[in-house]
Amino acid sequence: MSEAVWEPVIGLEIHVQLNTATKMFCACENHFGAEPNTLTCPLCLGHPGVLPVINQGAVEKAIEIGLALNCAIAERSVFHRKNYFYPDSPKAYQISQYDEPICLEGHLDVDGSRIGITRAHLEEDAAKLVHSGGEAGRIGGAEYTLVDFNRCGTPLVEIVTEPDLRSPEQAIAFLALLKNTLQTIGVSDVDMEKGSLRCDANVSVRPAGSGEFGTKTELKNMNSFKFLGDGMAAEIRRQIDLLERGLQVVQETLHYDPGTKALRSLRSKEEAHDYRYFPEPDLVPLAPSPALIERLRDGLPELPAARIERFASQHGLPAAYATDLNAEPRLADYFEAVAASSDAKSAADWVLNTRPAPVDNVPAATLAALIDLIAGGTITNSIAKQVYEMLVADPAADPAELVERHGLASIGDSGELEAMVDEVIAENPAFVEQFQSGKDGVINALVGQVMKRTQGRADARQVQELLRSKL
Amino acid sequence: MTPDTLGLTAEGCMALLDAGDVSCVELVEAYLARIEQQDGDLNCYLRTRADAAREEAARFDREGRSGLQGVPIALKDILCVRGEETTAGSRILEGHRPLYDAGVVTRARAAGLIPLGKTNMDEFAMGSSTEHSAFGTTHNPWDARMVPGGSSGGSAAAVAAGLAPLALGTDTGGSIRQPAALCGVVGMKPTYGAVSRHGLIAFGSSLDQIGPFALTVRDAALALQVIAGRDHCDSTSVELPEPIAVPEGDDLSGVTIGVPADLLAQGVEPGVREAFDRSLEHAQHLGARVREITLPTAVHALPAYYLIAPAEASANLARFDGVRYGLRLEEPGDTIVEMYGRTRSSGFGAEVKRRIMLGTYVLSAGYYDAYYGTAQRVRTLIRREFDQAFTDVDLIATPASPTVAFPIGERIDDPWAMYACDLLTVPVNLAGLPGISLPCGLSEGLPVGLQLIGSAFSENRILAAAHALEGAIGFDPVPAAMRSAG
């Protein structure tokens, strides 16, 4: 296998459930987790005679998504009927946008690469099918299937990227930034486990440097970033293997089973549906006013891509730190609150590397105070970790007060440390002799003894310097 | 007192009720009695709601009434009534009880109209004779051997036969105006968007409109006043630019009426043409100017219509699968696909299947643009052609139907002959315009309908002209056959 000579090409289709109060075309409540089939009405059950009415809140959220992804907002966009028979679709058609979507031609910059957004359009979610009996959750071997219409009619935005992604890692990084962006503008719960963020990946490979695309396959609906990444990697390996053996990639839709790590074909191109799209006659075209679009644009908060750049420039953080801090909005908010009154680099270290995570445990001002105690030389790093543990147990406590009460202040410049060094030299004549006869490494044993005696309240390097000067 | 309902108008009902000559219950009983007596032969109603109607009438008698309150109305069985069986003339919806009232039903109730029952129709409004009903055909009150027209044949025949003073129907390609013509009553299709389609079981969603049947133009205006206007449940409905007025007066001076020669050359039978020409003379006597116009694209309306309407129908009717409501077979099959297939094979009639197949075909990949796309372009041209025509004339007149009522069974096996019934009405639906059919005479003892077409939302202009002509024509809407039958 030679991935070096093959270049993966990935495009994503992301479905985002909008967190509107009501469904896309009826007044039913829109939320996850209610008793099955309690959030329904004649409209979302597809009864005869009902007519859809567009949820204005969903339109505004779709426009916000478009603006956040640097898209053009269409002056006019149209809903179509996508026809298919399946139990999750009570009308036997989905109302979706087709050749005139609400958002067009945007982009999102990920780690310096510009990823094109082809389009983002509004549609309605289908009902949820629950396959029961047999192999848990799988349609194959199920004894029966239950339909929960609560999800039917949930507003969805489908975001389609250009085939601009070149590795599973980059695709996941893109998704993470997209997820954060959607969270930041507050349009969705973006919870993959609950299905409010779902992703399909179109995957192909081609000889590195080639300008043409290979035959693509579609990986369906993975419910975590990890499984999606694993699935894409497995599919890329499979395609490279096929091509290297002189075989063809067949256009098909695949499911990746994270348990068995196997790819299974769901349907081939020949079995592809003819959805017989045509304009939905029950709805009039969407024509959002420029004033509305401007109002929504003005209302957008600072977006993660801009924030990542600002973290790097304003706080002088490495790019990777700036990105990691923007994994989710609350993490970035927390970091900014800590960094407001402490050293940014230390704040980033603490926020990203400390477990349990500070963002869930310690008020930002408290962490900032703790970091200041280190920077001012009041406590050492290892003592700071002890104090942090105490703060996790008692988040209302004051770090300086804890240091005072437990006698944890550094003893570097005091006579106390010098006295301890003298004691250790006096109590370890053998080590002293070995050191003086040229065994330099023995100094570490002596440092260890002193450090033990200080219970971490001293800096090991300072202790070593002190020992050397005395010996 | 028991009033004679034959020939009794809604305004006549109101006069009787206002004068205290009859009570609401007596009025409802009189209609129910006549239905009992006549409808076994005519089959206008699929179902009456006698007890509910009596109760509603009794409430008005107890609590007092005014205006249209207490006047009965018949509803085409394609309009949903909460808790009461609504089938759209199809086996596949037999036993279906909607969970809600259609917008027009809500408005009719709010106005105090009392629904007597649900009227017969071609299955899913697909047909021009009511013979495609799954529940037997309706007979024409003028001659029981003849069809009443369709698809709203039950509503038209009920009004003609004195089984209701008012009725609601739906018109996708002529389904109000053509049966009104064949039964000698007034029928009006409003501008697309003037009346809410909420609760109308959809056939061709971009074409369907609900409208009234009545014995007089004034009655039709009264009913239209009740049902017209914006409904937030129908995104395509709008508030009318001016309220519907009940027409008065008999003057047509200053009105220019266009007669589309090319459309009429398509095969109007001589008796119909004579009655039509006589009504144009009446118009001229009333002061109207009559002039020839051309609508060259409207000639292609019928083929365009039979691509667009079935395409929309193929999607609208896809939801009838036997899963959630309506027909449930004893042996639906072992798989969901089998269940869909068996339910639909057994639940739909031949004409509905024909149109579903046609519509599915024209929307298919590779055919969409050639068929559906072309039809939509023709539709746009027809719309523009009408717009252009209405810069020169105020109204356009044609016969509503190229023929008078034809014998039951004559066209049932000849779809093209059946589709040709809509030749003169279909262009109006494609353009989304309002049109009325009013009786303008007899040919071979059967009624002929005059169609007046106006620009969008010109209902009041149409109603005023129709009312003036109605007076001049002096048509007696009571079928001779009914009068002798008592």
For A74, A124, A277, A312, A343, the CA distances from A94, given in Å and listed in that order, are 21, 7, 10, 44, 53
- Return the minimum-mean-pLDDT range out of A6-10, A115-119, A462-466: A462-466
How many domains, in total, are found in chain A? 3
A274, A278, A284 ranked by CB distance to B372: nearest: A278
Q: Quick one: closest CA in A to B234, which residue?
A: A51
Chain A residues with CB under 8 Å of B80 CB are 48-49
Mean per-residue pLDDT for A103-113? Answer: 94
Do A96 and A181 fall into the same domain? yes
Checking if the pLDDT of A1 tops 70, the result is no
B118 is catalytic: no
Residue-wise pLDDT for B234-270, tens only, equals 999 999 999 999 999 899 999 999 999 999 988 899 9
What pLDDT is attached to residue B376? 96
Residue A5 lies in a domain: no
What pLDDT is attached to residue A398? 93
Do A280 and A335 fall into the same domain? no
Do A325 and A452 fall into the same domain? no
Residue-wise pLDDT for A405-454, tens only, equals 888 788 866 688 888 888 888 888 888 888 888 888 888 888 888 888 88
What pLDDT is attached to residue B177? 98
Do A119 and A164 fall into the same domain? yes
The whole-angstrom separation of Cα A320 and Cα A348 is: 11
CATH, residue A440: 1.10.10
B370: which DSSP letter?
A: I
Contact assignment for A278 to B311 by CB distance below 8 Å: yes
A249: which DSSP letter?
A: P
Q: How far is B36 from chain A (nearest CA, A)?
A: 30
Residue A279 lies in a domain: yes
The whole-angstrom separation of Cα B313 and Cα A297 is: 40
Residues 6 or more apart in contact with residue A452 via CB below 8 angstroms: none
Whether B86 has its CB under 8 Å from any CB of chain A: the answer is: yes
Contact assignment for A93 to B364 by CB distance below 8 Å: no
DSSP H or E stretch at residue A278: strand A278-279
Q: Quick one: closest CA in B to A48, which residue?
A: B201
Do A283 and A308 fall into the same domain? no
Do A458 and A327 fall into the same domain? no
Residues 6 or more apart in contact with residue A87 via CB below 8 angstroms: A127, A129, A145, A147, B323, B336
Checking if the pLDDT of B172 tops 90, the result is yes
Quickly tell me which residue has 């339909």 as its tokens: A147
Q: Quick one: closest CA in A to B312, which residue?
A: A281
Residue A339 lies in a domain: yes
Q: Quick one: closest CA in A to B196, which residue?
A: A51
pLDDT band at B380 (very low <50, low <70, confident <90, very high): very high
Q: How far is B227 from chain A (nearest CA, A)?
A: 16
CA dihedral sign, ordered B128, B402, B267, B289: negative
- Average model confidence (pLDDT) for chain B? 96
The whole-angstrom separation of Cα A218 and Cα A204 is: 9
Domain that holds residue A439: 415-470
Residue-wise pLDDT for B45-61, tens only, equals 999 999 999 999 999 99
DSSP H or E stretch at residue A233: helix A225-244
Mean per-residue pLDDT for B263-287? Answer: 95
* ipTM of this complex prediction, to 2 decimal places: 0.95
The whole-angstrom separation of Cα B472 and Cα B281 is: 10
Q: Which residues does residue A159 pair with via DSSP β-bridges, in sequence order?
A: A14, A120
Mean per-residue pLDDT for A215-244? Answer: 91
Checking if the pLDDT of A137 tops 70, the result is no
What pLDDT is attached to residue A294? 97
List the 230-289 stretch of B: residues with Cβ below 8 A of A.
Answer: 232-236
One DSSP character per residue, B294-342 reads --TTGGGHHHHHHHHHHHHHHHHGGG-SSSSSS---SS--SSHHHHHHH
pLDDT band at A457 (very low <50, low <70, confident <90, very high): confident
What pLDDT is attached to residue A40? 97
User: Is the CB of residue B373 less than 8 Å from the CB of residue B304?
Assistant: no
Rg, C-alpha atoms of chain B: 21
Checking if the pLDDT of A156 tops 80, the result is yes
Higher pLDDT, A60 or A449: A60
pLDDT band at A269 (very low <50, low <70, confident <90, very high): low
Q: Quick one: closest CA in B to A272, which residue?
A: B365
Do A129 and A98 fall into the same domain? yes
Query: Where does B10-249+460-485 sit in CATH, by number?
Result: 3.90.1300.10
Mean per-residue pLDDT for A293-313? Answer: 93
User: Is the CB of residue A174 less than 8 Å from the CB of residue A108?
Assistant: yes
Alpha helices in A281-398 (DSSP H): 290-299, 304-315, 319-325, 329-339, 344-353, 358-361, 364-375, 381-393
Q: Strand order of the sheet with strand B72-76?
A: B45-48, B114-119, B72-76, B166-171, B209-214, B186-189, B435-443, B446-453, B395-399, B256-260, B289-293
- Would strands B209-214 and B289-293 be described as parallel, antiparallel, or unpaired? unpaired
What pLDDT is attached to residue A440? 87
- Would strands A79-83 and B435-443 be described as parallel, antiparallel, or unpaired? unpaired
Whether B197 has its CB under 8 Å from any CB of chain A: the answer is: yes
Residue A106 lies in a domain: yes
CA-closest candidate to residue B114, choices B75, B73, B84, B80:
B73
Mean per-residue pLDDT for A396-413? Answer: 85
B372: which DSSP letter?
A: I
User: Is the CB of residue B89 less than 8 Å from the CB of residue B44?
Assistant: no
Residue A37 one-letter amino acid: N
Alpha helices in A197-224 (DSSP H): none
Q: Which of A296, A311, A336 is the last residue of a domain?
A: A296
What pLDDT is attached to residue A3? 53
What pLDDT is attached to residue B482? 86
Do A165 and A313 fall into the same domain? no
For the beta carbon of residue B87, count every other beta carbon within 10 angstroms: 26
User: Is the CB of residue B327 less than 8 Å from the CB of residue B92?
Assistant: yes
Contact assignment for B318 to A49 by CB distance below 8 Å: no
B91: which DSSP letter?
A: G
B88, B206, B364 ranked by CB distance to A281: nearest: B206
Contact assignment for B321 to A52 by CB distance below 8 Å: no
What pLDDT is attached to residue A413? 67
Residue A310 lies in a domain: yes
Q: Which candidate in B90, B151, B196, B279 is catalytic? A: B151
Do A279 and A327 fall into the same domain? no
Residues 6 or more apart in contact with residue A329 via CB below 8 angstroms: A180, A183, A184, A304
Contact assignment for A49 to B325 by CB distance below 8 Å: no
Chain B residues with CB under 8 Å of A81 CB are 315
Residue A89 lies in a domain: yes
DSSP H or E stretch at residue B39: helix B24-42
What pLDDT is attached to residue A376? 85
Residue-wise pLDDT for B421-457, tens only, equals 899 999 999 999 999 999 999 999 999 999 999 999 9
Residue A259 lies in a domain: no
Q: Where are the beta strands (DSSP E) in A18-162?
A: 72-73, 79-83, 93-97, 103-110, 113-124, 128-132, 144-148, 155-161
pLDDT band at B315 (very low <50, low <70, confident <90, very high): very high
List the 228-247 stretch of A: residues with Cβ below 8 A of B.
Answer: none
Residue-wise pLDDT for B174-233, tens only, equals 999 999 999 999 999 999 999 999 999 999 999 999 999 999 999 999 999 999 999 999
What pLDDT is attached to residue A4? 67
Q: How far is B416 from chain A (nearest CA, A)?
A: 26
List the 28-67 stretch of A: residues with Cβ below 8 A of B.
Answer: 42, 45-54
DSSP H or E stretch at residue B10: helix B10-19
CA dihedral sign, ordered B87, B93, B95, B96: negative
Give SS3 for A79. Answer: strand
Do A43 and A124 fall into the same domain? yes
Residue A120 one-letter amino acid: A
The alpha carbon of residue A387 and the mean position of all alpha carbons in its chain are separated, in whole angstroms, by 30
Quickly tell me which residue has 């440390």 as its tokens: A417
The whole-angstrom separation of Cα B183 and Cα B140 is: 6
CA-closest candidate to residue B160, choices B438, B460, B473:
B438
What pLDDT is attached to residue A271? 66
Q: Which residues of A37-53 are buried (b: 16+ CB within 10 A; e: fewer)?
A: eebbbbbbbbbbbbbbb
Checking if the pLDDT of A136 tops 80, the result is no
Task: Read off the tokens for B65.
Answer: 């009434």
Checking if the pLDDT of A140 tops 80, the result is no
Task: Read off the tokens for B348.
Answer: 């739909």
CA-closest candidate to residue A48, choices B133, B74, B327:
B327
Do A270 and A396 fall into the same domain? no
For the beta carbon of residue A201, count every other beta carbon within 10 angstroms: 28
Mean per-residue pLDDT for B373-387? Answer: 97
- Average model confidence (pLDDT) for chain A? 91
Mean per-residue pLDDT for B298-304? Answer: 94
Contact assignment for B318 to A85 by CB distance below 8 Å: yes
CA-closest candidate to residue A381, choices A358, A410, A352:
A410
Mean per-residue pLDDT for A157-167? Answer: 97
pLDDT band at B124 (very low <50, low <70, confident <90, very high): very high
CA-closest candidate to residue B154, choices B73, B261, B54, B63:
B73
Residue A87 lies in a domain: yes
Query: Hey, what's the torsion of the CAs at B282, B286, B289, B292, to 10 degrees?
Result: -20
The whole-angstrom separation of Cα A391 and Cα A403 is: 11
Q: Is A128 exposed, middle or buried (0-12, 13-18, 19+ CB in 10 A)?
A: middle
Give backbone dihedrals phi and psi of B317, rounded to 5 degrees, phi first: -90, 0
Q: How far is B97 from chain A (nearest CA, A)?
A: 10
- Return the minimum-mean-pLDDT range out of A37-41, A53-57, A271-275, B422-426: A271-275
CA-closest candidate to residue A30, choices A165, A125, A133, A162:
A125
Q: Which candidate in B76, B128, B401, B443 is catalytic? A: B76
pLDDT band at B375 (very low <50, low <70, confident <90, very high): very high
pLDDT band at B1 (very low <50, low <70, confident <90, very high): confident
Do A380 and A466 fall into the same domain? no
Q: Quick one: closest CA in B to A279, which residue?
A: B312
Whether A278 has its CB under 8 Å from any CB of chain B: the answer is: yes
The whole-angstrom separation of Cα B115 and Cα B118 is: 8
- Return the minimum-mean-pLDDT range out of A404-408, B252-256, B348-352, B463-467: A404-408
Chain A residues with CB under 8 Å of B360 CB are 276
Give SS3 for B187. Answer: strand
Q: Which of A360, A383, A405 is the last residue of a domain?
A: A405
The whole-angstrom separation of Cα B389 and Cα B429 is: 16
Q: How far is B86 from chain A (nearest CA, A)?
A: 10
Contact assignment for A83 to B100 by CB distance below 8 Å: no
Query: Hey, what's the torsion of the CAs at A273, A274, A276, A280, to 10 degrees?
Result: 20
